[in-house]
Structure 1
Amino acid sequence: MWTLPEPMLATPVADPALPEGWAAEPKWDGWRALLSWDARRLVLRSRKGTDLEPFFPELRSGTAQLPNATALDGELVVWDAAGRLAFERLQGRLQRRGEGAIRLAEQWPAHFVAFDLLRISGTDATRWTYRRRRAALEALFVDHRLTAPWALCPSTTDPATVHDWLTSWTAVGLEGVVYKRVDGAYEPSVRGWRKYKVRETEEAIVGAHTGSPAAPRTLLLGRYGTAGRLHYIGRSTTLPQASSRDLAPLLTPAPAGHPWTGWTFSAGWGTRETLHVTLVRPQLVVEVGVDVARDSAGRWRHPARWHRPRPDLTPTDVPRFAGGATG
């Protein structure tokens, strides 16, 4: 019996240039998922192997459009009313089954953006070249007139189109691009693709940290709103040991009345684990590398990469918080 393979993976690259002999696809801000529709049985699996089928009833409703014995690789995404990717609308899905899942599907329906073909009408396509898989995937959408919840991921071999994606599409939540060798097969668990993520450096204010005062591990970062309130906007990646040692003397214990007193901070998306943090005086400005992924409140959804401290700046030099909340 045919089973879904492990997903093929991508290696991060620093250069956005499209290599000769490669194709590019947009990198979506959603959940990677592999899908199989076989003998009226839907399998929807996350990259880590989690069974997602009970949480996305809108996909089961759309399987009537698919030919039997077909499998796809793609991304589960939700678009908000403004046409921007809304990753946070996926967050509550793993806690809702049955009627709860149906209600969420009606409020914020997910789409499966297909970017690779693994099987078609019973034929394993993983050994085909990308060029052949892509042509068959496009034919699948045309021949079967696939509509929502199915969407076809764009693909290009034109460098100008890649540049347009990286400069224009980031406004709607595009994370970057994925590169695939046009004559390459689909290799499960192999990092044979490449990915370039749109990143930028920004300043933020340190409001707290994990780890000990002598060796801070990660930084909890904030920005002031227009009404003078310090908003939490994200957490840094783990600090290098040398940076941790250099940073420790710059962090001052928090005074009474710290704006985050009594707050609980999550250890990450999709987990109920909380962080043990030490509050500090919100005076040190740091520079971090961030990508374009944001939640509905404007916070950074991915950990910010540590870059350097900016003791030459004051909190008033940091841009104001421009998220969904006010204050």
Structure 2
Amino acid sequence: MPLPLQPPVKPMLAKSVSQLPREPGLFYEPKWDGFRCIVFRDGDEIELGSRNDRPLTRYFPELVELLGQALPARVVLDGEIVMVTDNGLDFDTLQQRLHPAASRVAKLAAETPASFVGFDLLALGDEDLTDRPFSERRRILETVLDGAFSRTHLTPITTDAEVAADWFTRFEGAGFDGVMAKAGDLPYLQDKRVMLKIKHERTADCVVAGFRWHKDGNGVGSLLLGLFDDEGNLHHVGVASSFTAKRRAELVEELAPLRVDALENHPWRSWADAAEAAKADGKMPGGVSRWTGGKDLSWEPLRPELVAEVRYEHVMAGRFRHGGRLARFRADRTPQSCTYAQLDEVAPAELADIFAEARNAKGTAR
């Protein structure tokens, strides 16, 4: 595939922020809830690449055929594979498309065909466009992606923050994640969190590295979550809990395969020993602290291969301040992609105000 950019290409990433930014020069787009996808086309050859280098081509044959008609002969573009229904976007149905059996893939492609939304252009013909500003890439993209086909779309875009705020409110009921913001002069920077995403609730993709049994002894009470630091170390950042009795029982079955040989090469293996856990002073699974009131914090290790999208309120000292809530498991993400770079770690405004008042009072007393 002799294109200016060869697969794999790592997509440009975004960092979550709590409020819609309104700086001059920003472009806003709806945030689509699907599988991120880099499309490579060179004549009759088309490859659909995912953000984790896992090819999506075999899972979406209907899109390969469709994009062969909607795109020019030699192009690389960034976008999202989505599942559009009468009730909005359906991520759960989309995730079911990742099936190993070829016969099942063909059946699902006919029954639940996916759509593609394009939002950035990386190369056209022999030219690499990644060094050009986003505003120019977008202008060219509008001439490249043929939206006349029913399941190929060019994402809406605006420079008006009020329009973006309206999208943020109105699009939520249709299954959209929120709003994206990117600077007009931004080059395409692979694997860098240089865009901004404003979601209806903060979320993070975390590694599920263990669990605790529910206090009644029946089912999973909480999932132990981890994030990688820049050195590749997996840190415990909190838990996801508050499951119904039915879901607690289902999780036992879902997690069972990951319990096999879980402690072999587990990054938290030393914490399985009660004495080592006690030294962690409550900061690691199984640790004893003054906050636990003597509760049993023993835990069951899992092979750290499962990724969970977790809703959380805010972060303090590198950990979720309160227990998180499981949104869904992400089969399209790798554990290694779950890093601290996702988190928008900002102290609550009220807390900052209290500290400022305390400093002023101390200064006056002197």
Aligned match of 1:32 in 12, 33, 36?
36
1:140 maps to 2:144: yes
3-state SS of paired residue (1:26): strand
Contact 2:147–2:154 under 8 Å retained in 1: no
Distance 1:130 1:268, change over 3 A: closer
Paired with 2:142 and 2:112, the residues of 1 have a C-alpha distance of: 26
2:130 is the counterpart of 1:126? yes
How far did residue 249 of structure 1 move?
A: 3.4
1:249 alignment partner AA: G
Give the AA of the match of 2:94.
L
How much has 1:222 moved relative to structure 2?
2.5
| Secondary structure at the counterpart of residue 78 of structure 2 | strand
Q: Counterpart amino acid of 2:176?
A: L
Question: What does residue range 265-304 of structure 1 map to in structure 2 within 5 Å?
Answer: 267-268=306-307, 300-301=327-328
Deviation for aligned residue 1:110: 0.9
Q: CA 1:242–1:74 in structure 2 vs 1: closer, same or farther (change >3 Å)?
A: same
Matches of 1:79 and 1:247 in 2, distance apart?
A: 46
Aligned to 2:301: none
- Name 1:77's counterpart in structure 2: 82
Q: Secondary structure at the match of 1:232?
A: helix
The 3-state SS of whatever aligns with 2:181 is strand
Offset from partner CA, 1:266-285 (integer Å, 9 cap, x none):
94469xxxxxxxxxxxxxxx
Alpha carbons of structure 1 residues 80 and 192: separation in structure 2 relative to 1, 3 Å: same
C-alpha contact (below 8 Å) 2:238/2:324 kept by paired residues: no
- 1:62-103 deviations in Å (ceiling 9; x for gaps): 112211111110111102232x21111122222245332121
Instruction: Find the counterpart in structure 2 of residue 276 from structure 1.
Output: none
Instruction: Give the whole-Å Cα distance in 2 for the aligned partners of 1:300 and 1:19.
Output: 31
Q: Distance in 1 between matches of 2:178 and 2:83?
A: 17
Q: Partner residue of 2:315?
A: none
The alpha-carbon deviation at position 189 of structure 1 amounts to 2.0
Amino acid at match of 1:232: R
Distance 1:242 1:11 in 2: 26
Alpha carbons of 1:197 and 1:132: their partners in 2 closer, same or farther (altered >3 Å)?
same
One of 109, 113, 122 as aligned partner of 1:109: 113
The 3-state SS of whatever aligns with 1:114 is: strand
CA contact (8 A) 1:38 1:68 kept: yes
User: 1: CA distance between counterparts of 2:181 and 2:172?
Assistant: 17
Q: CA deviation at 1:200?
A: 7.3
Please provide the CA RMSD for this pair. Answer: 3.5
Unmatched 5+ residue regions in structure 1?
A: 224-229, 254-265, 271-285, 291-298, 306-327
Task: Number of aligned residue pairs: give it.
Answer: 251
Matched residue, 1:249: 293
Q: How far is the alpha carbon of 1:11 from its aligned partner?
A: 2.0
Cα distance, 1:116 vs structure 2: 0.5
1:58-207 equivalence runs, <5 A: 58-62=62-66, 63-82=68-87, 84-141=88-145, 144-199=146-201
SS at structure 2 position matched to 1:17: coil
CA distance in 1, matches of 2:307, 2:100: 19
Query: Which residue does the alignment assign to 1:209?
Result: 222
Gaps of 5+ in 2: 204-213, 225-235, 252-281, 298-304, 310-320, 331-342, 344-366
Query: When the two structures are superposed, what TM-score results if normalisation uses the length of structure 1?
Result: 0.66
CA distance in 2: counterparts of 1:152 and 1:301, whole angstroms: 27
Residue equivalent to 2:266: none
Equivalent position amino acid for 2:109 in 1? A
| CA displacement at 1:31 relative to structure 2 | 0.9
CA 248–121 in structure 1, closer or farther in 2 if over 3 Å, else same: same
Q: Give CA-to-partner distance per residue, 1:287-314, whole Å, 9 cap, x none.
A: 6566xxxxxxxx73279x9xxxxxxxxx
Q: Say if 1:7 and 1:47, in contact at 8 Å, map to a contact too.
A: yes
In the TM superposition, what whole-angstrom CA distance separates every residue of 1:78-133 from its partner, at most 9, and x where no partner exists?
Answer: 02232x21111122222245332121111111111111011223332212211111
Question: What code does the residue aligned with 2:221 have?
Answer: A
Kept in 2, the 8 Å contact 1:127–1:185? The answer is: yes
Aligned-partner Cα distance in 2 for 1:250–1:174: 43
State the alpha-carbon separation in 2 of the partners of residues 194 and 301 from structure 1: 22
What is the alpha-carbon distance in structure 1 between the residues aligned to residue 165 and residue 30 of structure 2?
11
Residue of structure 1 equivalent to 2:247: 232
Equivalent residue, structure 2, for 1:221: 242
Name the CA shift for 1:241/1:121 in 2 (closer, same or farther; >3 Å). same
Q: Are the structure 2 counterparts of residues 66 and 169 from structure 1 closer, same or farther at C-alpha, using a change threshold of 3 Å?
A: same
Specify the code of the residue in structure 1 equivalent to 2:247: Y
The 1-side partners of 2:153 and 2:129 are apart by 19
Q: Distance in 2 between the 1:16 and 1:145 partners?
A: 28
